[in-house]
Structure 1
């Protein structure tokens, strides 16, 4: 019986570690200003809202990757400061400030758990 509880505890710990690893990888991609690494965590379809442009819903992963890479390049994003992260069952919200040489931009990411990994489903930049 003790072995069963130990095994269950170990499995829960490993799953939790893997989930936080994905979120940490997303934060690290933002901190380094690396849109390519960030786009590795996009879901198949993403809602994207950038600055004063209209929101685009259900954008394909490839189109969202091109859009985000263009935004990071055009605005000179070179860092990120996390302000909040909230987790609910299968959903996580990450907010912070993207940094560049001029002014920063607020960003909110909504992520969902899919196949044991956090996948970005919404990106909002204001």
Structure 2
């Protein structure tokens, strides 16, 4: 009986990491697609945002966060994304990379959390 419980626990843990990995891959694809609307589909209901030269804003609604990201993409002429690293730890994921703008590149870090079977973006830091 203990062996069966141990096996079931292992399978459930593996399944949760697989789901998070798939969601992270979808978010990376959205970033590479240079479409802020596509990226915003993965926003949690409240998002913390930090943009270059601006104060951090906390608990921005999903709609506001979408507008902030769209404006940033438009103003900076974002044309590409290169993934630097991705990590997963206990239901939390991190993505780091570079957004390629018209005249310069920006470092971006996303913190993700699992909500059921998917990952959602809870923090966006661009500098």
Structure 1 position 18, deviation (Å): 2.7
Q: Structure 1 stretches of 5 or more lacking a match?
A: none
Q: Deviations over 1:51-110 (max 9, x none)?
A: 111100000111001110111111111111111112110111110100123211000000
Whole-Å Cα distance in 2 between the matches of residues 52 and 27 of structure 1? 25
Q: Structure 2 stretches of 5 or more lacking a match?
A: none
Task: Write the mapping of 1:29-44 to structure 2, written as runs, cut at 5 A.
Answer: 29-44=30-45
Structure 1 position 13, deviation (Å): 5.4
Partner secondary structure for residue 62 of structure 1: helix
Structure 1 position 20, deviation (Å): 1.5
Whole-Å Cα distance in 2 between the matches of residues 87 and 8 of structure 1? 18
2:80 aligned partner: 79
Whole-Å Cα distance in 2 between the matches of residues 106 and 53 of structure 1? 15
Q: What count of residue pairs does the alignment treat as equivalent?
A: 126
- TM-score, with normalisation over the residues of structure 2? 0.87
Structure 1 position 26, deviation (Å): 0.6
Question: Over aligned residues, Cα RMSD in angstroms?
Answer: 2.1
Partner secondary structure for residue 120 of structure 1: strand
Q: Deviations over 1:24-73 (max 9, x none)?
A: 11101111111111000000000000111110000011100111011111
Structure 1 runs (4+) greater than 4 angstroms displaced: 4-15
- TM-score, with normalisation over the residues of structure 1? 0.87
1:107 aligned partner: 108
